[in-house]
Amino acid sequence: MRNCALKLCRQPMRAPSSVFLDFLAPSTVKYSQCRHASTTAGTAGEPKPRYVLSKEQREFMDSALRVNQAGELAATLIYTAQTPQIVRSYPHLRPLMKHMYDQEAGHLKTFNGLVAKHQVRPTAMYPAWEVAATFLGWSTAALGREAAMACTEAVETEIGSHYNDQVREILSWEADAERRGEELDEELKDMLATFRRIRDEELEHLDHAVANDSKEAKPYDPLVDVIRFGCRTAIKISEKI
Amino acid sequence: MAHLARTLPRRALPTQLTPYLRRAQALSTITIQPTPQRTRPTPTPTPNQPKTPLAQLRTYHSTLHPRLPDHEYTNSQTAILTAALDHVPAHGFTSTALTLGARDAGFLDVSVQLLPRGEFDLILFWLASRRGLLRGKVEEGGLFRRIAAEKGKDVYELGVEERVRGLLLERLRMNDEVRHVWQDALAQMSLLSNIPLSLTELHALASDILTLSGDASVDAAWYTRRLAVSAIYASSEVVMTRDPTPDLSETAAFVERRFEDRQAIADKFTGLGQCASFGWNTAVGLGRSWGLKI
């Protein structure tokens, strides 16, 4: 009798299961529809279907934006702290410092906007980074112009390669989308362009730093190594919390 | 346990279950946000382990991408919980309500064991579904207009602060029908093993309220504001359980006072910060004027 009851019960589950899943995972259903459609549709003129971000990709964007915001915050504070001391001894560097600061402030504004728009949690270490960055800028500037430029060189090297990694990751998504016959959404394309522009500007700061005798800093290797290690640690921490 | 879900009474599925599913669909913005998960759950749950609701903490959000599925209750769990909510005002957040809900949804009584946390699952589902309804109300657009009308303002004149206050009160009013049983629920939530999930849900609510109100803080204020809203909401819930007034006017007054306190504390901290930075800048400027290389 029990068997009979079970048999009765098992049968109907097949049919309604799609109804069930439909509401529980509406997005999944949408994804699969997108992907299926994309394999057949390939005609020119029609807009390509949008590449859907997976959970891991969203998490990547989440931590990427958080790190970038924290990084730009630190950069503006470093330049703010360095400028008075540098400019006092080397007034001809005033335009350069102002130019670099203005660019960093622009980057920070960009990332603040992106963090708010994509509802990304800012890093919990925000106050700590503020203090650390100000101290870093102030102490290297106190060591002299060369040390300050070496600090810029170390920081921009790390930041530049970090942006490069992010650009590479998004490009790999783009390639993936290409394979599927889809395309990245507008926001991601804009973000890719923004990351590239900002990376180039950071590397330009690196060139300025080298042109201004950063290599002449007295204990060059330890100084740069310590700052680079600090940067990498800060990036790792900001990715998580 | 999972085979129970598969061995449902035959007739129950298409007929009795559909209204609950439809209602669950209406709550599709539900978010239960417990512990983050390392691996994606496999589509077929292991036979002895009932699938527990798990979802990720808030991540990258974009208007161009659909929200990730917010909770991972299975279909049968959602159906039972949705049906059980009807019995909460009469029976409280108890296993009786769950059993009655399971019966309503056409399940066997024993299938309440699909919910590993029992009553706490019901409480979480209540919280999450009310949060989803709140979001739904805002996205329909009528809620802020009503709040503005109560204050005699245009909807565009509402500040973020006023919106937060309005949403928080609105969310409290949603608890009105269960307020006589809410103390039991609070007690359940404060059990040691339930605290992490309760706090996650509280944070999710605070976060939702702030995001919906248009708060765009991107620094340490992100944390302090969420903490403040969470604290105000949690304390107002306790006050609400003892509020004898039918329209919750005492609770509303309490909320007003807490927001004033919050403002006073915030002003004090801002003042202290300004004072400290003024002193620091003066000291540095003085040092520089003496020729110190700082």
**pLDDT of the residue at B139:** 85
Phi-psi domain of B69 (left: phi exceeds 0; alpha: psi -120 through 50; beta: other): beta
User: Among residues A205, A173, A179, A206, which one has the least CA distance to residue A192?
Assistant: A173
Question: Residues B207-219: what's their mean pLDDT?
Answer: 88
Q: Which of residues 50-69 of A touch B (CB under 8 A)?
A: 50, 52-53, 55, 58-59, 61-62, 65, 69
**Closest chain B C-alpha to A53 CA, distance in angstroms:** 8
How far, in Å, CA of A226 to CA of A234, rounded? 12
Q: Which residues of A touch B61 (CB under 8 A)?
A: 118-120
Q: Which of the two residues, A159 and B64, has the higher pLDDT score?
A: A159
**pLDDT of the residue at B58:** 63
Number of cross-chain residue pairs from A and B with Cβ atoms under 8 Å apart:
104
Q: Yes or no: say if B57 and B36 are a contact pair by the CB < 8 Å rule.
A: yes
Of B14, B28, B220, the CB nearest to A126: B220
**pLDDT of the residue at B68:** 67
Under the banding of pLDDT at 50, 70 and 90, the label for residue B20 is low
Residues B64, A11: C-beta atoms closer than 8 Å? no
How far, in Å, CA of A67 to CA of A199, rounded? 14
Specify burial of residue B204 (Cβ count, 10 A radius: 0-12, 13-18, 19+): buried
Phi, psi of A183 (to 5 degrees): -140, 155
Tell me, what DSSP letter sits at residue B106? Answer: T
Q: Which of the two residues, B21 and A202, has the higher pLDDT score?
A: A202
Residue of B40, B59, B210, B227 to mutate, interface with A, max A Cβ within 10 Å: B59
Phi, psi of A32 (to 5 degrees): -65, -35
Of B14, B66, B220, the CB nearest to A16: B14
As annotated, the binding site of A for Fe cation includes: 72, 104, 107, 156, 202, 205
Q: Give DSSP secondary structure letters for B163-229.
A: HHHHHHHHHHHHTGGGGGGHHHHHHHHTSGGGHHHHHHHHHHHHHHHHHHTT----STHHHHHHHHH
Residues A25, B69: C-beta atoms closer than 8 Å? yes
Q: Where are the alpha helices (DSSP H) in chain B?
A: 2-6, 17-26, 75-85, 88-91, 95-104, 119-140, 142-150, 160-174, 182-189, 195-212, 221-241, 249-289
Q: Yes or no: say if B94 and B88 are a contact pair by the CB < 8 Å rule.
A: no
What residues does A50 pair with on adjacent strands? Answer: A183
What residues does A183 pair with on adjacent strands? Answer: A50
Q: Name residues whose C-beta falls within 8 Å of residue B232's C-beta, 6 or more positions apart in sequence.
A: B168, B255, B258, B259, B262
Residues B67, A25: C-beta atoms closer than 8 Å? no
User: Among residues B260, B262, B238, which one has the least CA distance to residue B250?
Assistant: B238
pLDDT tens per residue, range B169-190? 999 998 888 888 899 899 989 9
Residues A16, B293: C-beta atoms closer than 8 Å? no
Q: Name residues whose C-beta falls within 8 Å of residue A220's C-beta, 6 or more positions apart in sequence.
A: A150
**Closest chain A C-alpha to B9 CA, distance in angstroms:** 5
Under the banding of pLDDT at 50, 70 and 90, the label for residue B69 is low
How far, in Å, CA of A32 to CA of A26, rounded? 10
Q: Compute the mean pLDDT over every residue in chain B, rounded to the nearest whole number.
A: 79
Residues A61, B223: C-beta atoms closer than 8 Å? no
pTM above 0.80, yes or no: no
Q: Which of residues 12-31 of A touch B (CB under 8 A)?
A: 12-13, 16, 19-21, 23-28, 30
Sign of the four-CA dihedral A7, A12, A15, A21: negative
A121 touches chain B (CB under 8 A): yes
Structure tokens, A130: 């503020």
Of B6, B28, B68, the CB nearest to A13: B6
Residue for token pair 């402030």: A105
Structure tokens, B86: 């009807």
A114 touches chain B (CB under 8 A): no
**HEC secondary structure over chain A:** CHHHHHHHHHHHHCCCHHHHHHHHCHHHHHHHHHHHHHHHCCCCCCCCCECCCCHHHHHHHHHHHHHHHHHHHHHHHHHHHHHHHHHHHCHHHHHHHHHHHHHHHHHHHHHHHHHHHCCCCCCCCHHHHHHHHHHHHHHHHHCCHHHHHHHHHHHHHHHHHHHHHHHHHHHHHHHHHHHHCCECCHHHHHHHHHHHHHHHHHHHHHHHHHHCCHHHCCCHHHHHHHHHHHHHHHHHHHHHC
Residue of B23, B60, B135, B290 to mutate, interface with A, max A Cβ within 10 Å: B60
- C-alpha distances out from residue A160 to A109, A145, A165, A235, Å: 18, 22, 9, 12
Query: Is residue A159 predicted with pLDDT exceeding 50?
Result: yes
A239 touches chain B (CB under 8 A): no
Structure tokens, B256: 């007003």
**pLDDT of the residue at B19:** 53
pLDDT tens per residue, range B115-148? 888 888 889 889 888 888 888 888 887 888 888 8
Q: Yes or no: say if B128 and B30 are a contact pair by the CB < 8 Å rule.
A: yes
Q: Name residues whose C-beta falls within 8 Å of residue B64's C-beta, 6 or more positions apart in sequence.
A: A50, A185, A186, A187
What percent of chain B has pLDDT above 90?
24
Which residue from B minimizes the CA distance to A142? Answer: B294
**pLDDT of the residue at A80:** 92
A135 touches chain B (CB under 8 A): no
How far, in Å, CA of B290 to CA of B294, rounded? 10
What percent of chain A has pLDDT above 90?
43
pLDDT tens per residue, range A92-121? 989 999 999 999 999 999 999 999 988 888
How far, in Å, CA of A204 to CA of B143, rounded? 50
Residues in chain B: 294
**pLDDT of the residue at A38:** 41
Residue at B188: amino acid letter? Q
Give domain limits for chain A: 55-240
Q: Which residues of B touch A7 (CB under 8 A)?
A: none
Q: Which of residues 194-223 of A touch B (CB under 8 A)?
A: none
CB atoms within 10 A of CB A98: 13
Residues A9, B9: C-beta atoms closer than 8 Å? yes
**Closest chain B C-alpha to A37 CA, distance in angstroms:** 17
**pLDDT of the residue at B60:** 78
Residue of A9, A51, A112, A129 to mutate, interface with B, max B Cβ within 10 Å: A9
Q: Which residues of B touch A27 (CB under 8 A)?
A: 66-69
Q: Which of the two residues, A220 and B231, has the higher pLDDT score?
A: B231
Q: Which residues of A touch B60 (CB under 8 A)?
A: 53, 58-59, 61-62, 65, 118-120
pLDDT tens per residue, range A11-65? 443 333 333 333 333 333 334 334 444 444 444 556 778 888 888 888 899 899 9
Residues A24, B294: C-beta atoms closer than 8 Å? no
Q: Which residues of A touch B9 (CB under 8 A)?
A: 9
Q: Yes or no: say if A168 and A147 are a contact pair by the CB < 8 Å rule.
A: no
